[in-house]
């Protein structure tokens, strides 16, 4: 089957040998087809790595906020 058009500008057709039980379980969790399930897994990996990067920065940024000034700013 052909992959549905998405907001992605480019896609790449690949051939993979994946464990059938892993794909079946993942598809059960997502309720989606193979391509959509693999894309969701890749997106989860990207989010996890981004979160790890942010966690590694914890305590390394010094941010000073004057809450009184912040609360007084004009709201639109």
What's the first-to-final CA gap in the chain, in angstroms? 48
Residues with Cβ within 8 Å of 1's Cβ and at least 6 positions away in sequence, in order, are 33
Closest-CA residue to 38 (of 13, 7, 9):
13
Q: What pLDDT score does 61 carry? A: 78
Q: What pLDDT score does 75 carry? A: 63
- C-alpha distances in Å from residue 1, one per residue of 11, 33, 35, 55, 71: 15, 10, 10, 40, 54
What is the 8-class DSSP label of residue 63? -
Considering the entire predicted model, what is its pTM?
0.63
Predicted confidence pLDDT, tens digits, the chain (76 residues): 455 555 667 899 999 999 999 999 999 999 999 999 999 999 999 999 999 988 888 888 788 888 888 887 666 5
């Amino acid at each position: 089957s052909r992959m549905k058009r998405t907001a992605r500008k480019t896609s790449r057709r690949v051939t993979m040998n994946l464990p059938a039980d892993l794909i079946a379980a993942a598809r059960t969790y997502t309720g989606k087809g193979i391509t959509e399930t693999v894309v969701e897994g890749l997106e989860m990996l990207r989010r996890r790595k981004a979160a790890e990067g942010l966690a590694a920065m914890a305590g390394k940024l010094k941010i000073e906020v004057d809450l009184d000034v912040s609360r007084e700013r004009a709201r639109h």
